[in-house]
Amino acid sequence: MSGSPEKLAEALRNALKETERLRRSNRRLSEAASEPIAIVGMACRYPGGANSPAALWELLRDGVDAISDFPGDRGWDIESIYDPDPSVPGTCSTREGGFVDDVAGFDADFFGISPREAQGMDPQQRLLLETSWEALEGAGMDPRSLRRTPVGVFVGVMSQEYGEPELEIVPGMTSSIVSGRIA
């Protein structure tokens, strides 16, 4: 081994200091990983009138059948899209389903969205905007207070065809922008 005993002693001291620093860091990480998760705000929209977590639990507790006739507030021509033969393209072979209440009641102006854009938006985006706002309010937070803070938004959505694509409303149908809309 080359080097003086002083250099060797200094290297050992530095290694011991680094080892202790790594132990402290590992202890902090282990403690943080074992902290419980706290849910401080929730919101939801489900068929059967489950427009809040409490209403969802009531629906489940009471065994409510949330399947209903097609809603009349969506602008759908039920008679023209219904066909009992499931092989007929562009039709539906049922007259019932699970529908979220009051999807047409979205307050576009509140979220700074034009009525035209709101009409072309995938309903998932409208529901996510509403429920995100409600979850934060339920947690006792003013959603506007989070602007320019280090908060992450992660959303899982299903891509679907909704509406007729027009260049100016395409963002409303693109699932990749949902988290940005909420942020």
Q: Region of 3 please: left (phi>0), alpha (psi -120 to 50) or beta.
A: left
CA distance 20 to 15: 9
| pTM greater than 0.85 (yes/no) | no
Please, which pLDDT band fits residue 109 given cuts at 50, 70 and 90? Answer: very high
Each residue's pLDDT tens digit, 130-151: 999 999 998 999 988 888 888 7
